[in-house]
Amino acid sequence: MDARPIGVFDSGVGGLTVLHECLVTMPNEDFVYLGDHARLPYGPRPVAEIRRFAHEIGGYLETCGVKLIVVACNSATSAALPGLQEVLQVPVVGVITPEAAAAVRTTRNRRIGLLATEATVAAGRYAQLVRTLDASVRFTAVACPRLVPLIEAGEQTVDAVVEYAEPLKQAGCDTVILGCTHYPLIRPVLQRVFGRDVTLVFSAEETAREVADTLARKGWENERTRIGEYRFLTTGDPETFRSRGERFLQLPLGEVRRVAVGDLERAAA
């Protein structure tokens, strides 16, 4: 048994879709979630900058005494996961590998599409993983720079989705990876645009299972009878985080504490 909390982070509130599955899968565990709203969005930023942000947050969460870290951000996972796993003292789980594996299992015509941020597409991690699993897959990736700001603001996304979906439709993809933790919030819009015959893949459940399996292997699970707690940190405005976050998490957030970007930078120094 290990009573330390699990750390989860994202550029904003999108990672709460992953946290929700972790809460359902591991209701006996404690969680601390950090949303880097002061530097949102990550997608348009250079990969090296996203990698630096991820190392700052990972280092900060480690100083908070977490026992495992979930990188609930596809851009940060693409840019920084191997490095985080090398330098941090706690296990680190990302969100990309489970999605790539699920897409390869799901596709019927071996045509897989990806909707993701510019940084995730540029990193090429999805394409590498998919082709390692099945070299015959035709893989089409589309960067969607407008989606995260629209979703965070709660604005209409239909026009942007129609635009970004078109190349994947033209490629005949029967399976589309939602390569950003924000995108499940507009899943009904995405499914309507793609139609019933296209399967949308998002791996929050599989990521949560990977976390649970890691704790089990290490003997770090909390008592099954325990009811876990969760708390929230943001580099942005706590009230903005709360109002947006409750829509994503579908649970009350309670107190949200602000963390200065300088504190993150010092943690990685």
Q: Could you read off the pLDDT of 177-215 as tens digits, one per residue?
A: 999 999 998 999 999 999 999 999 997 988 999 999 999
pLDDT of residue 206: 85
Average pLDDT over the chain, rounded to whole? 95
Question: What is the Cα 258 distance to its own chain's centre?
Answer: 21
Q: What band does 269 get if pLDDT is binned at 50, 70 and 90?
A: low
Share of the chain above pLDDT 70, in %: 100
Catalytic residue among 22, 73, 144, 173: 73
d(CA 34, CA 81): 17
Tell me the HSE value of 254 on the side-chain side, using a 13 A CA sphere: 7
pTM confidence score: 0.91
CB 194 within 8 A of CB 200: yes
Phi, psi of 150 (to 5 degrees): -65, -45
Confidence of residue 152 (pLDDT cuts 50, 70, 90): confident
Instruction: Report whether 92 contacts 58 (CB < 8 A).
Output: yes
d(CA 211, CA 70): 8
- The strand order across the sheet containing 138-143 reads 138-143, 111-116, 175-179, 199-201
- Cα separation of 134 and 51, whole Å? 28
Query: Which position among 22, 144, 173, 180 bears the catalytic label?
Result: 180
For 59-76, b/e burial (b = at least 16 CB within 10 A) is bbbbeeebbbbbbbbbbb
- Residue 73 a catalytic site member: yes
254 dihedral zone (left: phi>0; alpha: psi -120 to 50; beta) = left
23-48: per-residue pLDDT in tens? Answer: 999 999 999 999 999 999 999 999 99
Does 22 qualify as catalytic in the annotation? no
pLDDT at 106: 96
In the chain, the domains with their CATH numbers are 6-95+205-267 (3.40.50.1860), 96-202 (3.40.50.1860)
> Tens digit of pLDDT for each residue in 43-74?
999 999 999 999 999 999 999 999 999 999 99
Largest CA distance in the chain: 51
- Burial (CB count within 10 angstroms: exposed 0-12, middle 13-18, buried 19+), residue 134: middle
Beta strand segments in 59-119, E: 68-71, 92-93, 111-116
Question: What is residue 254's predicted lDDT score, i.e. its pLDDT?
Answer: 84
